[in-house]
Structure 1
């Protein structure tokens, strides 16, 4: 990510850099993602010129990539309906595209209120809920508890840019909810193969 720019773009770039610096939650997510993938981040900053963030992540070899693609073919869905709940538009759309490619049907919700409403209306057809752990406004524990009141057997896959233990601590999920509602955990960014494998392990109807 570079924040050095031409004069015509200076104000726009400055606003982006300042928003990133001030948003501690965003920085926490970025650093968490890098660390859980055994990566590192290096910062170069020079007054009057700008700041450069260099992110290092382990490379995936061609043979590993081919193996992952082959494995994903084993985890095709069977038309199951998945409710994806995330406040980030791009993440919702990427997950939707991936799931639909592998024969899942998808419903999208951008916040907890919308998710609860959609689940209440169609819970008998929804096989699993993919839920971000750090939702704004209506906190994740309340979302999960509301889903449980609608269907005590609801299956939830938690998603977060931080580790599972850290996410549970931040959002305040109690052990009972963790034990009975969270079927699995995915650390962002996750590969499509990881998601498909997780869904397959849940043995969805």
Structure 2
């Protein structure tokens, strides 16, 4: 899953980015509202972590603009938003949620809680109530970053894990290479390389059998059974 961190404090932004990357997410960072708008217009993010106090505005206005379609957002205005801020007063939390934030986390916060809230918001893709995905004998524990097939442990790279997670949230559906690149890799990925094809190929070999179909000219599909 691909996330956007909007935070002007560079040390905090880098700490959050590293924590999320180590948890297997692709992460881009914006230091102000203008950079956030630029990235949102060209990249399809699954979740935005949004600070309120920004050099060129505030997170309330950013969230308001997104929810009302006042700024272009690749992937639609239903982007999940988790506000991260030192402003913990009740009226601030209420305003954040009323402006369209999906969750609100007050600084300082523990990385473990941040990751749990991120997982909870991203689970909306699956309609599930836990961080465990199961499809056709494949079991993926997103919280523990563990994968098994037929009960046997899989040793996956972070990108293989990300691709598998994305496919498991859409079993039976064809997912294009461009969509995988958009949601599993960050903005530093080269769109002209064969990185998606190579990653899917190694993942397919580790899963064994024919769990992932290649649909010529369209993309990849995880079999439901």
Residue 109 of structure 1 and its aligned partner are, at CA, apart by 0.1
Find the counterpart in structure 1 of residue 50 from structure 2: 131
CA distance change for structure 1 residues 103 and 175 in 2, over 3 Å: closer, same or farther? closer
Note if contact 1:161-1:188 (Cα within 8 Å) is conserved in structure 2: yes
Question: Aligned equivalents of 1:90 and 1:174: distance in 2?
Answer: 24
* SS of match in other structure, 2:3: strand
Alignment of 1:55-204 (within 5 A): 80-123=1-44, 126-148=45-67, 149=69, 150=73, 151-163=76-88, 165-168=90-93, 173=95, 176-177=98-99, 181-202=100-121, 203=123
Unaligned runs of 5+ in 1: 1-79
Unaligned runs of 5+ in 2: 126-225
Question: Aligned equivalents of 1:166 and 1:93: distance in 2?
Answer: 29
- TM (norm. structure 1) is 0.53
Q: CA RMSD in A?
A: 2.0
- TM (norm. structure 2) is 0.48
Question: Aligned equivalents of 2:22 and 2:117: distance in 1?
Answer: 16
CA distance change for structure 1 residues 88 and 166 in 2, over 3 Å: closer, same or farther? farther
Deviation by residue 1:48-76 (Cα, 9 ceiling, x = unmatched) = xxxxxxxxxxxxxxxxxxxxxxxxxxxxx
Deviation by residue 1:71-92 (Cα, 9 ceiling, x = unmatched) = xxxxxxxxx1110001100011
The structure with the largest alpha-carbon Rg is 1
* SS of match in other structure, 1:129: strand
Residue 204 of structure 1 and its aligned partner are, at CA, apart by 5.4
Number of aligned positions between the proteins: 118
